[in-house]
Amino acid sequence: MQAISNQNVVVLKEEGVTLPKGFKAGGMHCGIKKENLDLGYIISETPATAAGVYTTNVFQAAPLVVTQESIAKEYKIQAVLVNSGNANSCTGEQGIKDATAMQKAFASQLGISEHLVAVTSTGVIGELLPMKKIHSGIKQILNKENAAEENFMQAILTTDTSVKQIAVQIQIDGKTVSIGGAAKGSGMIHPNMATMLGFITTDANIAYEDLHFALKDVTNQSFNMITVDGDTSTNDMVLVLANGLAENNQLTKNHPDWDLFVKGLKMVSEELAKKIARDGEGATKLIEVVVDGAKTQEEASIVAKSIISSSLVKTAIFGTDANWGRIVTAIGYSGVPVQPNAVKVAIGPYQVFENGLPCPFDEAEVKYYLEQETIQIYVELNQGNQSVTAWGCDLTYDYVKINGSYRT
């Protein structure tokens, strides 16, 4: 009997950022929010190679500026400090001073260089951080009672209804390499208008350039596919830390297991992205839009995002209404020059549009399908061989409720 090679197997784990060797995490309530946890950390035993992707919003929040500058020093981060409840955004020079002070205080608590600490914030825009509470929190945060990954995941949330984590393991050079992730964010109508934070840890041994390349690549296929291009909040950020403790030979694009590592990283990113989309504010369903047969990836993305951003599609799915006309309309105004008669649309397994005409389908059957928690919309453009997947959520009464009274 032949042994099954596990070389290309990515094993999914119900764990998160502390599965990779040498990482710990924790969180506490320091008083920014009324009750919930609001200050969290991830720490690596040793300085980890670090790469990030950041919001493209021209109003970039203070902690993102500070963290990018710090990473640029030697592409290493050993600790991440996150607060929720206040975004430290639109806070001018004082905001930069506060983010720097947060970084400095945590570095001093850990006895490491300041630039090895990444800081980030999420919450209300335009209010200064309550620094007294944060300083007091930083003094206590390393206490034993706060040391729990669950605490970290709770501490980064804002309007999220659930924590989001995922981890995978792969074998590289005979070593077990783990990749873990945690995220916060909500799949809004324009998803990235809400702050999205992603934290990925790995014990893989990998150089900065390759890590950054892989992160950008998988982000484009995961976090950015729950996003309308350019629609980013002032605080969006995805960070990856790789501390090398798995002791594999350094990963580069020429390593035989490079693709496997990227596959693992992509799985973590995609799962977190889907969890964010599913946890849309007030959402009851995850919507997955697959656009196939496009001339280019870009055209496929534009069409997919046009559909996933359509409030009319989103409300129809909330109402379990097989309103394929709204899907066709969203394809038609996307700006991509599709051939009307070549386009096919399916809702789940049900073909609903072909040859410029609706297909006969059983309303009751499709309605039953639309009552599921995950809804797939499949579009075939028949213009090429490029394909993308995008994710979003339905639009519900509760979305309006949550967002009509967020600040007050």
Enzyme catalytic residues: 195
Give yes or no for residue 406 binding a second copy (CB under 8 A).
yes
DSSP symbols for 201-264: EE---B-HHHHHHHHHHHHHHTGGGGS-TT---SS-EEEEEE--TT-PPPB-TTSTTHHHHHHH
243 and 22 in contact (C-beta within 8 Å)? yes
For the bound state, the minimum distance from the C-beta of residue 234 to a second copy, rounded and expressed in Å, comes to 6
Question: Can you tell me which of 41, 261, 324, 391 binds a second copy, judged by CB under 8 A?
Answer: 324
Give yes or no for residue 4 binding a second copy (CB under 8 A).
no
- Any known ligand binding at 403? yes
Q: Select from 77-85, 145-153, 253-261, 333-341 the region that touches a second copy (CB under 8 A).
A: 333-341
> Running DSSP on this structure, what letter comes out for residue 373?
S
Q: Select from 34-42, 97-105, 153-161, 335-343 the region that touches a second copy (CB under 8 A).
A: 335-343
Question: Can you tell me which of 3, 34, 254, 404 binds a second copy, judged by CB under 8 A?
Answer: 404
Cα distances (angstroms) measured from residue 182 to each of 19, 273, 349: 11, 10, 32
CA angle 356, 359, 365 (to 5 degrees): 145
Question: Can you tell me which of 10, 64, 338, 393 binds a second copy, judged by CB under 8 A?
Answer: 338
**CB atoms closer than 10 angstroms to residue 54:** 18
Distance CA 201, CA 289 (A): 28
For the bound state, the minimum distance from the C-beta of residue 175 to a second copy, rounded and expressed in Å, comes to 41
Please name the residue that has the structure tokens 């040391």. 147
- Any known ligand binding at 329? no
The footprint of a second copy on residues 179-208 (CB under 8 A) is: 188-190, 192-194
Tokens found for residue 275: 């969890």
Cβ proximity to a second copy, 230 vs 256, nearer residue: 230
For the bound state, the minimum distance from the C-beta of residue 340 to a second copy, rounded and expressed in Å, comes to 5
Give yes or no for residue 399 binding a second copy (CB under 8 A).
yes
Binding mask of the shown chain, residues 82 to 111, with x at each position contacting a second copy by CB under 8 A: -----x-xxxx-------------------
- Any known ligand binding at 408? yes
Give yes or no for residue 74 binding a second copy (CB under 8 A).
no
For the bound state, the minimum distance from the C-beta of residue 328 to a second copy, rounded and expressed in Å, comes to 6
The alpha carbon torsion through 12, 17, 18, 21 (nearest 10 deg) reads 80
Give yes or no for residue 11 binding a second copy (CB under 8 A).
no
Q: Which residues pair with 86 in a beta bridge?
A: 122, 124
Give yes or no for residue 176 binding a second copy (CB under 8 A).
no
Q: Select from 110-118, 154-162, 257-265, 326-334 the region that touches a second copy (CB under 8 A).
A: 326-334
Strands 197-202, 237-242: pairing is parallel
Give yes or no for residue 22 binding a second copy (CB under 8 A).
no
Give yes or no for residue 335 binding a second copy (CB under 8 A).
yes
Cα distances (angstroms) measured from residue 37 to each of 41, 170, 301: 12, 33, 37
The footprint of a second copy on residues 355-374 (CB under 8 A) is: 355-358
For the bound state, the minimum distance from the C-beta of residue 64 to a second copy, rounded and expressed in Å, comes to 12
298: CB partners within 8 A, 6+ apart: none
Cα distances (angstroms) measured from residue 81 to each of 132, 134, 135: 16, 11, 12
Cα distances (angstroms) measured from residue 258 to each of 87, 206, 398: 36, 10, 43
3-state DSSP assignment of residue 400? helix
Which amino acids are annotated as binding site for substrate, given as ranges? 158, 184, 195, 281, 403, 408
Binding site for a second copy (CB under 8 A): 56-59, 87, 89-92, 124-127, 188-190, 192-194, 230-234, 310-312, 315-316, 318-319, 321-326, 328-335, 337-338, 340, 353, 355-358, 395-397, 399-401, 403-408
